[in-house]
Amino acid sequence: MRSEDVVETLNGQQKWREPTIKTLLSRLLSKGAIHAEKEGRRYVYSPILTRDDWLSHESKGLLDRLFGGRVAPLVAHFGRHGKLSKRDIAELKRMIAEMDNG
C-alpha cells in the first residue's frame, strides 16, 4: 500500500493530517511492524506483524510493565474502577470455566 493509500484510508477513519500519518508510518517502520519498498519515487508499505502478533506483544508488554506479568491484578483494577460491565464479568466467568474444564 502506498503512503497516499494509507493517508486516504485513515482520513476516512481518523481526523489525522497527512504529516501525522507519515510520522506514524515512519515509527511503525522503525519498530519493525511494517516493511517499505521503494517503487520509483514512492514507498510501498506492507505489514510484517499480523494483528494477533502485535496484540500479543503489546498486551504482554502492558501486563509486564504495569502488573508484573499477571492478568488477575489487571482485571481487579478494571473491576475496582467500574470498567467491567455485567456482560464483561459474565464473559470472564465463562472463559475461566472453559479453562478449568479444558
pTM of the model: 0.56
Per-residue pLDDT tens over the stretch 12-64: 788 888 899 889 999 999 988 899 999 998 899 999 988 899 899 899 999 99
Rounded Cα gap, residues 63 and 76, in angstroms = 13
pLDDT of amino acid 82: 86
Tell me how far CA of residue 4 lies from CA of 22, 53, 59, 64, 78, in angstroms. 9, 26, 30, 36, 39
CATH numbers and ranges of domains, the chain: 3-47 (no CATH), 51-101 (1.10.4040)
Total residue length of the chain? 102
